[in-house]
Structure 1
Amino acid sequence: MIKALATWLREHREIADLLLLTPFGFLCLADVLSRAGGYATPVDLGFLGLGVVLVVPLVWRRRWPLLVFTVIALACFAQWSAGLLLGHNVIMLANLSVLIAMYTVAAETNLRWGLAAAAVCAFGAALAFYGFDRQWNGWAAERSNMIALALLVGVVWSLGIYSGTRRAYLQSLEERARRLERERDNQVQIAMAAERARIARELHDVVAHNVSVMVVQADGGAFMVDSDPPRARQALEAISETGRTALKEMRLLLGVLRDGDAKGPYAPQPGVDQINDLIEQTRAAGLPVVVTVEGSPQGLATGLQLTVYRIVQEALTNALKHAGPAATATIFLGYGDDRIRVRVADDGRGAAAADDGMGHGLAGMRERVAMYGGTVTAGPVPGDGFEVAAELPVRGAK
C-alpha cells in the first residue's frame, strides 16, 4: 500500500507538492487569524498575500524550475525593496520557498543553472542584512548570522546537487537495465532464428536423403515388378521402411518448431555410430558403398559427430541422385587426435550429371563445417565421378 502510494506520488509530482504545501497554508492562515483576537488587519492580509505569491509557484517547481525560481526570487527582491523583512511569521515561513526553489533548480537542471541559483540566493542573503528596517551592527555582531545563513544556502544547494546526481545515476541504471533486457530479448530471438535455421537444414538433409532412397527403390521396383516380383516386393518394403524413418525424423525436428512445449522426449541426433545404418540403407537403395575407417571416434563431441554424419548423408544423397545406375561410392573416415578427415566419392557421371538447381545440401554442409573451423570441397573429379572431402579440427569442439 505504501509502495503503491509512493509510486503514485512520483507520477503526480504537482499533486504531491500541493499536498506538502497545504499544511503551510493552514499554518499561515492560523497565524493571521490569531492576531487581534481572530480578526486580521489589512497589514496581515497583505503579508498573507505576499506569502501566497512566494509559496504557490512551488506547485509547478518540478515542471518549470527556472521560471518558478525566477518568480520567487523577484518576489523576494520586491519584499526587500519594500522593507518587508523578517518580523512576521507568515513572511518568515514564506521566505523558505526561495531555498526550496533553489534546491529544485540544482536537482532538476544542469550545474551551470544550479550555481546561478545559488549565487542569487547568496546575494539575497547578503541583502537581508541591509534592509530598510534594520541597521548594520558591525561585522562582529552580524558575523554568526551571516555565516549561518550562508551555510544554510550551501547545504540546501548541496542537497539539490546530490539529489539530481543520484536521480541521474538511478535513471542511467534503469536505462541500462532496459537496454540489457532488450539485448537479451534480441539474443533470444537470434538464437531462436539460428535454431530454426539449423532445424531447417536438418530437415532438408533428412527429406532429401530419404526421398532419394525412396525414388531409387521405386524406380527399381517398377522395373522389376514383372520380371522379378520378389525383388520388387523387397523394394516396396524398403520404400515403406525408409518412409517411416523419414516421418519419424521429421516429427522429431518439426516438434521443436511447435508453439507449445513438447510433452515427450526427443530422440538424440544421429552420430558416427549411425553412419553404418546410413550406408546399409544406401546399399539397399542400389548404390554399392565401400567404407574405410582409420582411428576411433571415441570421445568425439556430439555436434561434431552430427556434422560428420550429415556430410556423409549429403554426399550419398547426391550420389544416389546424380551418379547413375552403375556407379559405386567409396567412403573414407579418418579419426585423428587433432583432425577428422571425411571423403566420399563416386565413379558416376560427375560433371555430366544434370543439376536441377533445387539443392541446398552442399551450402548447408559448408555452413556446418565452417562452424567448427574446418574446410570442405565438393566437385567433379578428373575423369568420371564426384567427390566431397572435408577436414574438421577436433580441438575446441568438445
Structure 2
Amino acid sequence: MSMDSVPEQPERESGSAAEQRIAEQLLEQARLDGVKLVGPGGLLAGVTRRILESALEAEMTEHLGYEKGDPAGRGAGNGRNGHSAKTVHTDLGPIPLKIPRDRQGGFEPQIIPKHSRRVSGFNEMILSLYAKGLTTGEIQAHLAEVYGADVSRELVSKVTDAVVEDLNQWRNRPLDRVYAVVFIDAIIIKIRDGQVGNRPVYVVVGIGLDGHRDVLGMWVGTGGEGAKQWQVYLTELRNRGVADVLIVCSDGLKGLGEAIESAWPLATHQTCVVHLVRNSLRYSNRRDWQAVTTGLRTIYTAPTADAAAQRFDEFAETWQAKYPAMIQLWRTSWEKFTPFLAFDVQIRKLINTTNMIESLNSRFRQATRRRGHFTTEQAAMKILYLVVVEKRRAGQNIAARIPA
C-alpha cells in the first residue's frame, strides 16, 4: 500500500469526520494489501514518514520564502537541490526519510535537526527502560527486537548519562518553607568502591501543605545507617529552604530524634508503627507471632493515648516474663509512638507508618536488583533519580521537580 495515495477529504467535511474517514480507509486498504499496523514497513510508520517529510518540505518553503515550483523563486539566489536519504529511529521503528536540501546549504530543519537520528520520544523510552531496571545491553536487545533499531550500548549510556546534569540541579533545588509531614528512611544497595560493599541510600519524602508529595532528597552514605549522617542530610534540607516540619515519621534509629530536633526543633517525631511491630517480632519466637501482632494491633488502633497505655499494660502483663526485651522496646519508644493518636483516623493512617516511602524504596530495589552492584555512586544515584521521574510520569504524585 502506498502512503502517497492518502485520499483527499471533501471541502465541507468537518475535520474530525474527515480524520475518522481517512483512518478507516487507510486501515481497510492496509488489511486488503496485507500491510501490518506497526513495525518496520507498517501502516503507522508509513503515515509517520509522510507527516515528517511534509513537515520538512514546509520548513524548506519557509526557509526559502516561496513554494515549490513558484515562479517567484526564479533568480532568488537560492533554491531546492534535491534530497538526501536519512533513517531516523522512532517509537514505531526506523523510518527512512528524504531530507530536502537547498543549493546554499543553509537549511537547518527543526523537526529533525542535522546529525540527529532520533525523533523526540526515543530518548525518553530509553530512560524509561533504564529506570525499570534494564541494563544497557538489555535495552539494546529490546530496541532491536521490538523496534528494529540498531542502537549501540554506548549510545544508551550517553542517553542515560545526559540526566546527570538534571540530577545535580534536582538535588540542589530550593524547597518549600514548611512541610506537613516528612518521611525518612534508608535502603541498602551494593556499590563498588575498591571492592563491592553495602551502602545506605538515605531518602526523604515530604508532603506539602497543599498535599503534594515530593522526594526532597537522596544521598548515598558511607557506611551503615547512622544518626550522624542523618543530621548532615537534614541540615542540608534546612539550608535548601525547609524551615519547619510539623511531623517527622521515621524508624527507631538511636540518635535520630536528636538529629531531627537539631534541624527542626518544633517538629513532632513519630516512630513508624510498622518498624516497631517488625522489631518486636525479632524479640519473640515465630510460633508466638500471631498472638503478639494481634495484641500489638489493639494498642496502635486504640482511640486515645490513655486507652493505648491501658492496652499496653495488659499486653506487657501477658508477655513480660517471656519477652522482656520486646516490652522494654515499647517502653523506650512510647513517647515517640503516641503522637499520632492525637489525630483523626484518616490522618493517623498517613503518619503512623513510613509505608509511602517504603513503596518508593520497593521501586528502587526493583530497579537495582538486576544489576547486582553499581560501579560508582553516580551510577546508583542516576537510576534512583530516573525511578523518581518515572513515578511522576506514571501519575503517582511523587515529583521530581527539575528547575526550569
Tell me which interval the TM-score lies in, with the shorter structure as reference length. under 0.3
> Whose RCO is larger (CA < 8 A, sep 6+)?
2
* TM-score normalised by the chain length of structure 2: 0.21
* TM-score normalised by the chain length of structure 1: 0.21
Choose between structure 1 and 2: higher helix proportion: 1
